[in-house]
Amino acid sequence: MMAMGEPAVWGVVLIKDFDAAKQRLRPALSAERRRQLARENAHLALRAATAADHVLAVCGSEAAAALARQAGAEVLVEEHPQGQNPAARAGIEHAVRRGAEAVLLLSSDLPLVTRGAIAAMLRAARRLGRPAAMAAPATGRGGTNALYLRPPGALDLHFGDDSLAAFARDAAGRGVRFELHESPRLALDLDEPDDLEELRRIAG
C-alpha cells in the first residue's frame, strides 16, 4: 500500500514468448521443460511484483499475456518482440501515460524471487528520493535483474551483459543517485546450465 507522499510505483514484468525463452538452456533441458520453466518463473515474477502499487506485464506472446491476465496484471503485448530493452521501454512509456511516478523493471527468469524481496527493494529505493536508480545485480556476467527508476525516465536502458556498469556510468553522467540492492532472492537468474546447478545447490 502506498503511503502518503510516496511515489506511485509500477512493477513492470518483462515476459518473453515461452517458446523462445531459455534457449541457452538447450543443452540441459528439453523444449517442453524450458517452456514449463519459463511459465513457472513468470508466475513467480508476477506474484512478486504485486509489492508495487500496480503491475504491468510486457509480454512477447499471447500465451504469456494469458498467464499475466490470470495473475491480475495489466498487459501490454509486443507486436514484434525485439529484446529486453525495447520491452522495458514500451512498459515505461505505458506506465508513464497511466500516471506512474516510478517504475521497478523486473526480469521474469528469477526462480527465487518473492513478494517480500521486491517489497524490501522498494523500501530501500524509496529512501533515495529523486532522481534515483537502484539495481539488483545478477549473479555473474554483471547483469541487472531488477531496476528501480524515479522518475521512470531517469536513465537509458542497458539490459544485457555488463549492464550494471552501464547503468552506473549513465547515472553518474546525469547526476542521478545510483545504488545497488544486494538480494539473494533477486541475484540468481536462469540463463545458462550452470545456473540450474546453482539452483539445485541452493535448494539442497
Q: What CATH number corresponds to the domain at position 110?
A: 3.90.550.10
Distance of CA 4 to the CA centre of its chain: 26
Structural domain range at position 79: 9-203
C-alpha torsion angle, residues 84, 85, 87, 91 (rounded to 10): 130
Domain-embedded: residue 4: no
Domain-embedded: residue 45: yes
105-140 pLDDT, tens digit each: 999 999 999 999 999 999 999 999 999 999 999 987
177/154 Cα distance (integer angstroms): 10
pLDDT, position 52: 98
3-state secondary structure of 55: strand
176-197 pLDDT, tens digit each: 999 999 999 999 987 766 766 7
Q: What percent of the chain has pLDDT over 70?
A: 91
Arithmetic mean of pLDDT over the chain: 91
CA angle 129, 147, 15 (to 5 degrees): 145
Domain-embedded: residue 2: no
pLDDT, position 200: 73
63/38 Cα distance (integer angstroms): 11
- The count of domains in the chain is 1
